[in-house]
Amino acid sequence: MSTFDKVVEVLVEAKDLETGSITMESTWDDLGLDSLDTVELVMNMEEAFGVSLEMSEDMKTVGDVVKAIDTAK
Partner 1 sequence: MMHTPICDLLGIQYPVLQGGMAWIADADLAAAVSNAGGLGIISAMNANGDWVRQQIRKAKSLTEKPFGINIMLASPHVEEVAQIAAEEHVAVVTTGAGNPSKYMKLWLDAGIQVVPVVASTAMAKLVVRNGASAVIAEGGESGGHVGEQTTMVLVPQVCDVVDVPVIAAGGIADGRGMAAAFMLGAAGVQMGTAFLVAKECNVHQNYKDKVLKAKDIDTMTTGRRSGHPVRVLKNPFAREYYKKEFDSTVTEAELEQMGAGALRKAAVEGDVQHGSFMCGQIAGMIHEEQPAADIVTSIVTQAENILTGGCPWIK
**First-to-last C-alpha distance (Å) of the chain:** 15
Single residue of 18, 25, 34, 50 touching partner 1 by CB under 8 A: 34
Query: How does DSSP assign 33-71, residue by residue?
Result: --HHHHHHHHHHHHHHHT------TT--BHHHHHHHHHH
One-letter amino acid for residue 69 of the chain: I
Whether residue 64 lies in the annotated active site: no
CB of 48 to partner 1, least distance (A): 14
Q: Which residue lies nearer to partner 1 by CB, 55 or 71? A: 55
Residues near partner 1, by CB under 8 A: 34-36, 39-40, 42-43, 54-56
List the catalytic residues: 34
